Copies of this chain bind each other. A is one copy, B any other.
Amino acid sequence: MSEDLARVEKFLAENEAGYLEELKAFCRIPSVSADPAYREAIAQAARFVAGRLQQAGFDRVSIVPTGGHPVVTAELCRMPGAPTILVYGHYDVQPADPLERWTSPPFEPAVRDGRLYARGSSDDKGPLLIPILAAEAWLTQCGSLPINLKFLIEGEEESGSPHFSGVVAALRDSLACDLVVSADGAMWRADLPSVTVASRGLAALDVIVHGAAKDLHSGRHGGSAPNPIRVLARLLASLHDEEGTVTVADFHAGVIEPDPAILQAIDAAIDVGAFDPRTYFTGIGASLPEPLPSGRRLLMRQWLEPTLEFNGIHGGYGGAGTKTVIPSQAQAKITCRLVAGQDPTAVKDAIARHLRQRVPSGYRLEIVDHGPGTPAFALDRDHPALRMTEDILGELLGRQPLRVAMGATIPIGAVFRSELDVPTVFFSFATSDEDYHAPNEFFRLANFRVGLIAWARLIDRLKDLRSCD
């Protein structure tokens, strides 16, 4: 270890107590992006981030307006010729409801059992604060950073980032970099170091079946009038086979083989007992299917296979008792998770074609397209930054991390790829069990400590990024 890095790590370790107080202060700001009632808190959180970057010594700190909540940008680019890294994170948080299920109030941070309980502590205020503090430590202890570092911190991640790709496009020149490192994301399991190297894409559409122009009495008209629920059920049932595999023609068009490292990671996860089918189904409170699928099969389905899921279905009467109505329409909400090689628009077109071919006469089919969707994300398996993050985690956590995929969609990977033409690696110290979209969100203080050291080392090693290319 270089003397510089040793000094940085020592400084970080000595200042932990103060960092925790700063994180608590950050978590006291109820920056809920989805609820307009928290608009002032959002502005306050943006100012907090900007102020902290300023205090750390960053240049050109800006709060940049968007069509929604602002982004915060900053840079410390004083090393001509060294690699330039853009750090991504977000200062907004999920809503805190239901409040009554919190043990301590969501915006009054409380430490219990080595965990900091607060809304946003894990997603993403703790993980986001870490690289700022690590950069500051480099600057104060060594007078400079070995790389050029930029920050882009958004305020709408928990609301679907509606303005994000536009902002990245608009700021393309000032965000130019060699690599994005995301401080958002989460390690798969608390007991098993991992890095995320792929995530599924997303395509969304609504299917609406129309029958008569108004709701009809099911006594008078039952048997002769069109029933859109019946037809919708038949249409939806035609989209999968009995095992739940999508049967839509061309749905799987273009799918490419997954990174063998992910398949190896699945096997490794099963081997170390990190994923057990029985525990999985029990954990989500579902009864066990028979025969029980293997863990490998389930992880394949979560990580590496596309899905067509029904997220909602609605039509007719839903209250207590009965109402003898034939509704004029029924609708379903569909989202597909996509794997590498699938084109979101082509997938939606294939589904629309499938349904249009099957809608019987006497009914009208309406399909609502929810935007362009997001292709799957996959990091180049040989990217040197990926190796660096794996090595650092291996050193600090005692075992080489697994390469894992995410079933969920990470739109930023696709945005940075298309707008800045750079890959994104994930280096977050949150863990996926930290209830970050539920009551009693917490952040493990042990991971806060490890994260500070890990980021200090990553800043050090990334100076060699270009020479590894």
Task: Choose among B222, B317, B437 the residue that contacts A307 (Cβ–Cβ < 8 A).
Answer: B222
Q: Bin the interface of chain A by size.
A: 35 or more
Task: Choose among B305, B309, B327, B364 the residue that contacts A287 (Cβ–Cβ < 8 A).
Answer: B364
Among A240, A293, A305, A310, which residue has the most Cβ atoms of chain B within 10 A?
A310
A314 to B323, CA, bound (A): 14
> Chain copies in the assembly?
2
A145 to B390, CA, bound (A): 100
- Let me know if A57 is at the binding interface, CB within 8 A: no
Inter-chain contact A337/B437, CB cutoff 8 Å = no
A312 to B221, CA, bound (A): 16
By a CB distance below 8 angstroms, the chain B residues around A216 are: 284
Inter-chain contact B219/A406, CB cutoff 8 Å = yes
Among A214, A233, A293, which residue has the most Cβ atoms of chain B within 10 A?
A233
Q: Mark interface residues in A310-332 (1 if CB within 8 Å of B CB, else 0).
A: 11111111100111111110111
Among A222, A238, A316, A360, which residue has the most Cβ atoms of chain B within 10 A?
A222
State which residues 195-250 of A face B: CB under 8 Å: 200, 202, 204, 211-214, 216-227, 229-230, 232-234, 236-238, 240, 242, 244
Inter-chain contact A360/B242, CB cutoff 8 Å = yes
Given A219-B409, A318-B312, A362-B289 contact (CB < 8 Å): yes
Task: Choose among B293, B322, B437 the residue that contacts A370 (Cβ–Cβ < 8 A).
Answer: B322
Among A213, A324, A328, A409, which residue has the most Cβ atoms of chain B within 10 A?
A324
Q: A218-B337, A311-B326 are in contact. List 10 more A-B contacts (CB 8 A).
A: A220-B407, A224-B293, A224-B301, A232-B233, A234-B242, A289-B360, A290-B361, A311-B323, A314-B318, A322-B333
7 contacts between A and B (CB under 8 A): A221-B302, A225-B284, A225-B286, A310-B316, A312-B315, A312-B323, A322-B370
